Amino acid sequence: MSLLVKVGAVGFILVPGLTQYAITLQLAGGVWILQTLPAVFLALYVPWLDRNGVIAGWLAGMAAGTYWLVANGFTSSLATYPIGGPAGTRLYIGLVAFAINLVVVTAWSVATRYAGAAPDRAEEGAATSA
């Protein structure tokens, strides 16, 4: 099965006319994979993050990154943002979407804790020790 997938991937790139789709998928993949960092890495090692906040952050990052890729017509992974002067600043779309992701995760988790909700991991620990 692995060999079949690899042959299919090589065929996808070598067939004339499909090269643009390969470039588009690579641009999108770079932006999308960066959005999994808080959901996979930070959620494992930062116990106060709320799981719903992690999901909301992931959705926000994916939506923002995909929106800017579509707005650029998948021609570049850089977009101009209205910061740093009248001409704006060109930044990597994945990095800006990642920042949005982290802001949503952090704000959601802080708001949840401030509202008095118990940490997700504390609930799981209490259920398994009983």
pLDDT at 128 over 80: no
pTM, entire model: 0.76
pLDDT at 63: 96
- pLDDT tens digits, 68-99: 999 988 888 888 877 766 667 788 999 999 99
Map tokens 């390969």 to a residue. 22
- pLDDT tens digits, 18-51: 777 778 888 899 999 999 988 888 888 888 888 8
Beta strands in 39-121, from DSSP E residues, in sequence order: 78-81, 89-92
Taking the C-alpha atoms of residue 77 and residue 87, their distance in angstroms, rounded to an integer, is 18
DSSP, collapsed to helix, strand or coil, labels residue 124 as helix
Domain coordinates of the chain in residue numbers?
20-129
pLDDT at 126: 47
From the centroid of its chain, how far is CA 79?
A: 16
